[in-house]
Structure 1
Amino acid sequence: MSDTKSETWVTERLHDHYAQSLRADAVLYDSKTDHQRLKVLQNGTFGRILTLDDVVQTTEGDNFIYHEMLTHVPILAHGHAKRVLIIGGGDGGMAREALRHAAVEQVTMVEIDAGVVDFSKEYLPMLSQGAFDDPRLNLVIADGAAFMRDTEDKFDVIIVDSTDPIGPGEVLFSNSFYGHAARALSEDGIIVTQNGVPFMQGDELTGTLRAFQALFTDCSCYLATIPTYAGGPMAFGWGSHSKAAREVSQPVLEARFAAAGLTAEYYTPEVHKAAFALPGYVKKLFP
């Protein structure tokens, strides 16, 4: 942190040649857990901001984009998802959106760090909005890679809500992890992954897609623009044992969206379909 004219700014240096700074009107939480350094900052534009090791993870202001696109896209594309697995997601935002689907019978959330869950309940309750109290949520405090390796359950949708591939999140980008995930998917299941900002982190997307090409009948990625994930649109990896889910028509998505009774701030069936239209520089990252 650096103080300039009594203002405190926090600078994220995730990328080698680019940084972003956010003004911290207040530091509400600052503590080191067994796995990482957690901070909650207050910002005039984004509200409360969660950082892990000084890298922005989610904000009160724009988290809805990330969470809606990683849940509603695969769940509505699937059409009859009953069992959802979230790897990571300790702030509860992903569970919040997945549980808005009444047809989903169980959401299993595997978070490595109990400290993230505990402080999120206290300092970021607007993200989970009661998700931790939903009886359909099965919260497992464990290493996500080990859980995926050992589970014998089948899931209709797997959401990898990981940090960037550094520190505890690195193993969630490995070929062995994706292989175990492919085995844990139901016959027409879908896996979606956080793959960073491809303009800045192209190798991350290429690595995931290379693994997906070997494991799935259908693989691609889709995009969404999230202000605090700076450097262009964010990519979400997509893998499925069936091509049918990505080919679902917009009218069918509209019917499913209406039937689910969802309200969303970013997701629409039109955005769903358009998100798979990729610019040239992203297409070039496909192996």
Structure 2
Amino acid sequence: MSSGLTFKETLYPGVEVNYACDSVLYQDRSEHQDLVLFENPVFGKVLMLDGITQVTTADEFIYHEMMAHVPILAHGAAREVLIVGGGDCGMAEEALKHPGIARLTQVEIDDAVVEFSRTNFSEFNAPVFDDPRFDLVIADGARFVAETDRRFDVVMVDSTDPMGPGAVLFTQEFYRNVHRCLTPGGVLVTQNGVPFLQRAELVTSVRHFASIYKDAAAYVAAIPTYFGGHMAFGWASDNADLRKTPVDVLTERFDAAGFDTRYYTPEVHAAAFALPRFIRDAVDEGRKG
């Protein structure tokens, strides 16, 4: 039964999204952000940071599967993977399903979010903390990619939106530093919002990609929590062939990895790069600089 409480998200000007609250499970302010976890009758557990929805137990699998499996299977030989952000560890849980990964490094600025998620989202992240390949670094992600001497085959930026502490993860300098620590032919994927409501975010990121990488693009997925239509994932690599990996090759790699998914399929992977015109126009605008 509903408690009568609602939590309001106002990420998009002119739009409010209200979540009914069955019960508040946790509410606090850490050093870096306001955090609340509550139960919703449709989405299950809902985590909000600074009033913006981050993850829900009902649909987290879509975001995490598409952000992790698309670059890893397109690359085909990823051994060193880096996640910047991703404190709920759902991205790490999906990435570590790939047996070929030797080490997954996650750099998260707020240890309180990781510990909180370990306690409250064990239904999807429990395997991460028992996996010896999981390397958790509590640090500023922007500083890490600027200073590390390590190199990565795939980098996934599971960030908040470009405001507050997350803004630095959308800058040209940050993307250039990621490029510095990618192996030749490596790939970067990013969270780039909902283009129908956040078009400028996608255009700006692709513009930055295009000034650094040989291939700048985006792909999409439909995620109910992220109101407004398609969710965009930025894509950047010096190997333009990666995003054109044939379905039969993806299928062979996926079958060899030996795990099940609820959203991702090789066919969905290939189709995700076929953009609706208004999103393709935004990507093309970014590529033109």
| TM-score tier (shorter) | over 0.9
Query: What stretches of structure 1 move > 3 A for 4+ residues in a row?
Result: none
1:180 to 177, 180, 184: 177
2:42 to 42, 45, 48: 45
| Whole-angstrom distance in 1 between the partners of 2:73 and 2:42 | 31
Counterpart of 1:22 in structure 2 is 19
Counterpart of 1:123 in structure 2 is 120
| Whole-angstrom distance in 2 between the partners of 1:176 and 1:131 | 30
Instruction: Kindly state the Cα deviation for residue 217 of structure 1 after the two structures are TM-superposed.
Output: 1.2
Query: Which letter does structure 2 place at the counterpart of 1:143?
Result: D
Gaps of 5+ in 2: none
| Whole-angstrom distance in 2 between the partners of 1:186 and 1:17 | 42
How many residue pairs get matched?
Answer: 283
Instruction: Kindly state the Cα deviation for residue 126 of structure 1 after the two structures are TM-superposed.
Output: 1.6
Matched, 1:210 2:207: yes
Instruction: Kindly state the Cα deviation for residue 262 of structure 1 after the two structures are TM-superposed.
Output: 1.8
Q: Does the 8 A contact of 1:50 with 1:56 survive in 2?
A: yes
| Whole-angstrom distance in 1 between the partners of 2:64 and 2:233 | 11
Q: Does the 8 A contact of 1:91 with 1:127 survive in 2?
A: no
Q: Does the 8 A contact of 2:221 with 2:230 survive in 1?
A: yes
Instruction: Kindly state the Cα deviation for residue 133 of structure 1 after the two structures are TM-superposed.
Output: 2.2
Deviations 1:236-270 (A, max 9, x none): 00001111211210000011000000200000000
Instruction: Kindly state the Cα deviation for residue 8 of structure 1 after the two structures are TM-superposed.
Output: 1.3
Q: Does the 8 A contact of 1:159 with 1:192 survive in 2?
A: yes
Counterpart of 1:283 in structure 2 is 280
Matched, 1:152 2:149: yes
Counterpart of 1:251 in structure 2 is 248
| Whole-angstrom distance in 1 between the partners of 2:153 and 2:230 | 27
| Whole-angstrom distance in 1 between the partners of 2:86 and 2:188 | 15
Deviations 1:122-153 (A, max 9, x none): 11212312202211011000001000110111
Q: Does the 8 A contact of 2:158 with 2:190 survive in 1?
A: yes
Q: Does the 8 A contact of 1:25 with 1:43 survive in 2?
A: yes
Secondary structure at 1:265 match in 2:
coil
Secondary structure at 1:84 match in 2:
strand
| Whole-angstrom distance in 2 between the partners of 1:260 and 1:153 | 25
Query: Which letter does structure 2 place at the counterpart of 1:245?
Result: L
| Whole-angstrom distance in 2 between the partners of 1:60 and 1:254 | 27
Deviations 1:39-96 (A, max 9, x none): 1111111111111011100000000000000000000000000000000011110000
1:113 to 105, 110, 116: 110
Secondary structure at 1:172 match in 2:
helix
1:98 to 92, 95, 98: 95
1:13 to 10, 16, 19: 10
The residue correspondences of 1:55-66 to structure 2 (distance < 5 A) are 55-66=52-63
Query: Which letter does structure 2 place at the counterpart of 1:30?
Result: Q
| Whole-angstrom distance in 2 between the partners of 1:129 and 1:206 | 36
Q: Does the 8 A contact of 2:3 with 2:22 survive in 1?
A: no
Gaps of 5+ in 1: none
Aligned-pair RMSD on alpha carbons?
A: 1.0
- Change beyond 3 A, Cα 1:92–1:6: closer
Deviations 1:192-245 (A, max 9, x none): 000000000011101110011111111100000100100111000000111121
TM-score when normalising by structure 1: 0.97
Matched, 1:193 2:190: yes
Secondary structure at 1:18 match in 2:
coil
Counterpart of 1:230 in structure 2 is 227
Q: Does the 8 A contact of 2:3 with 2:21 survive in 1?
A: no
Which moved further from structure 2: 169-178 or 15-24?
15-24
| Whole-angstrom distance in 2 between the partners of 1:185 and 1:179 | 10
Q: Does the 8 A contact of 1:92 with 1:132 survive in 2?
A: no
| Whole-angstrom distance in 2 between the partners of 1:191 and 1:262 | 23
| Whole-angstrom distance in 2 between the partners of 1:130 and 1:113 | 20
TM-score when normalising by structure 2: 0.96
Query: Which letter does structure 1 place at the counterpart of 2:31?
Result: D
